[in-house]
Structure formats: C-alpha cells, structure tokens
Amino acid sequence: MKNFLFSLIIIGFYALLANAQQQYKVGLIGFYNLENLFDTINQPDVNDEDFTPQGSYRYTPKVYSDKLSKLEQVLAELGTDHSPDGISVLGVAEIENRSVLEDLVNMPKIQNRHYQIVHFDSKDLRGIDVALLYNPRYFKVRNSESLLVPIYNDDSTGHRYTRDVLFVSGEYMGEPMHIFVNHWPSRRGGEEASNHLRELGASVCKKVIDSLMAISPNTKVIVMGDLNDNPTNTSITKVLNAKRKKEDVAPGGLYNPWIDLYKKGIGTLAWNDSWSLFDQVIISSAFLNKEQQGVFFKEAVVFKRNYMLQQTGRFKGYPMRAYVGSIYMGGYSDHFPTYVVLLKSIK
C-alpha cells in the first residue's frame, strides 16, 4: 500500500512538473485591410478627392469618426481569445497616411496598448499605403525601409506606381525577426492578365528573403498582406515557394498555413458568392521547430464576429463593408483580419 501511495505521489509530481514546463508566452502577429481609411482633407498630390466632405463619398468628419470607432472595436477584440494583450504586431493596408493611424491607435479602447507606427508614403495611384502597428512590449524595431515594386507602363514612360512593400526588422519577444507588409496589385483587368504584377510583388520579398536565408536558414521571416491572390496562386506557391505541409518546408523555406483553410471554403472576403483568402500571414521554417528554444508557430486564425457580418439581404454573411458604391453603410471593412498564434516557452 505504501509503495502504491509512493507511486501516486511520484506520478503526480511529474505531472505537475510537465505542466509547469508547458507554460508559454503568447504572441499574435496579424494583418488587416482597413478599407480606405482616409482623412477628410483634400491633399493636392493624392487621389483622395472622393474621400472629402464635398467628394462623391460625402466623407465627412462624422463618417471618419464613425469609421475609426468601428475599426477600434475590431482591434480591441482582435486576438483576445488567445491573449489579453490582443494583437501585438499588425500589418495594415488601405490607409492614406500616418495621421489616420495616429488617430486610430489613440482611440480609447486601444490606447493603453501604446501601439507604435512604421509607415512610409508611397506613390500608389490610389493614394493608399501599407503600414505596421506594433506593441513595444513585444516588438522593438531596429530598421525599416520601403521596397519599390518595379512595375513599368506599357508605353515605356516610366514606373507605374503601386503600394511599396514595407520591410521591418527588429526583435519580437526578444528574437530577431523580419516582417514584410504587402498589398500587391489588384486583379483589375482580370486575374490572368494581372497575375504577373502580383508575381512581381512576391519577387520583391523573395529576393530579400533569399539574402537573409543565405546568412542563416534559421532566420525568422514573416510575409503578410492583402496579396490579392489566394494561397494556391502562383505568386505564393511558385514565386514565394510557400508550402502547404510543414514536412515539405526546407530549411530557410516558407510555410503557408492558410491553404487548408482556403480549401475548406474559409475566406477573408467574398465576391459573387465565392470566398477568397487574400489576407495571409506566411512564416519561415524557423517557426516550425517547437523543440528549439524560441518563438514557434501554433495556429492560424481568420477573425470575425457577428457584428462584422452583413446581417440581411443577398450578401448576408459577407464582411460588413464601410461603403457600397458611394453609400456609407457604417460597416467595418470588406476584409476580415487574420493572424498567427506564436508561442514561446517561459520555462
């Protein structure tokens, strides 16, 4: 009987020890297309006339304030199922300038996270940029730059400007990490006809990634954005060479956790009764080794709540967008945000 009780004590001790060894710090890195977050000011060098009080969208200070409050609500809840701190690093697209992000991060529901901003003005024809928001408790920026996507006009008159790729390097939860924030060219003119433009966007990232991996294949890299392509398109599967299965990812290669979700019919935006998953967060092989000390990948999440959905009509269940045509609908965005859950052992 004594031996039996002793055995139970030993088993209990090792069970407690195992649980103690499985404590992790949670970090969340994501992306969100904010659907035309403009200010109300007509800037002479920006194609923003529609987004002014006198413009076709009747974009008044009241509309702008409401838009900010809607995005604030999403950001306040984004990722809180996994961490009370919410999202710690967030790439964003379709923002006009830095000032709109300053207004957003100072909204009352999220201002205590003290989000910092990395942003460069691009020469995009629509006047929109990408940017990175980050919680300085999780991420420290060491370097950032804007990478030009080399698209040229058909008549050889020079560059055809689109959103630059934002490249940010720093330490995430104490580890070196490199992040690319993208908003690749749209499918205007047709998917096939515009495919080469998104492949160019992917190649800008891949060139830098290859240089980083040549130094060390254990480099931690994240490629995120509104890619205007699904996880199965060639810009991702061929140019980035991002793999569907972890076991197929070579050292220094990329893993795309969104392919299986997409094949199940899960998406981030809808059009003509079909879901696409353009908003992705792709990670390098170094995140896949749980046995090594450091940050590793757990899961990928498409974030949505009922209030973010169109509740009635033909588009019921779609993302509840801010505008339909020139009519303000009071929605959030025509995209759902996405994020990856990362863990780091604290034992």
Which pairing describes strands 327-328 and 323-324: parallel, antiparallel, or unpaired? antiparallel
Residue of 151, 147, 122, 116 whose CA lies nearest to 45: 122
Q: What pTM was computed for the model?
A: 0.92
Helix 98-105 / helix 61-77 crossing angle, nearest 10 deg: 60
Residue 135 in contact with residue 88, Cβ under 8 Å?
yes
Q: How confident is the model at residue 270 (pLDDT cuts 50, 70, 90)?
A: very high
CATH level 2 (architecture), domain 23-345: 4-Layer Sandwich (3.60)
Residue of 226, 181, 222, 184 whose CA lies nearest to 201: 184
**What is the model's pLDDT at position 15?**
45
* DSSP 8-state code for residue 234: H
Q: How confident is the model at residue 188 (pLDDT cuts 50, 70, 90)?
A: confident
Each residue of 71-92: pLDDT tens digit?
999 999 999 999 999 999 999 9
Q: How confident is the model at residue 260 (pLDDT cuts 50, 70, 90)?
A: very high
Residue 240 in contact with residue 223, Cβ under 8 Å?
yes
**For residue 21, is pLDDT > 90?**
no
**Domain spans in the chain, listed from the N-terminal domain onward:** 23-345
Each residue of 317-327: pLDDT tens digit?
999 999 988 99
Each residue of 131-149: pLDDT tens digit?
999 999 999 999 999 999 9
* Beta bridge partner(s), residue 343: 26, 296
Residue 252 in contact with residue 311, Cβ under 8 Å?
no
The lowest-confidence range among 121-125, 176-180, 261-265, 297-301 is 121-125
21's enclosing H/E stretch is helix 2-21
Which pairing describes strands 221-226 and 175-183: parallel, antiparallel, or unpaired? parallel
Q: Order of strands across the sheet with 221-226? A: 139-147, 165-172, 175-183, 221-226, 279-284, 254-255, 242-243
**What is the model's pLDDT at position 157?**
57
Q: What percent of the chain has pLDDT over 90?
A: 81
Exposed / middle / buried, residue 137 (Cβ in 10 Å: 0-12, 13-18, 19+): exposed
CA-CA distance, 60 to 156, in Å (whole number)? 39
Q: What is the separation of C-alpha 272 from the centre of its chain, rounded to a whole number of angstroms?
A: 24
Helix (H, G, I), strand (E, B) or coil at 72: helix
206's enclosing H/E stretch is helix 191-215
* DSSP 8-state code for residue 192: H
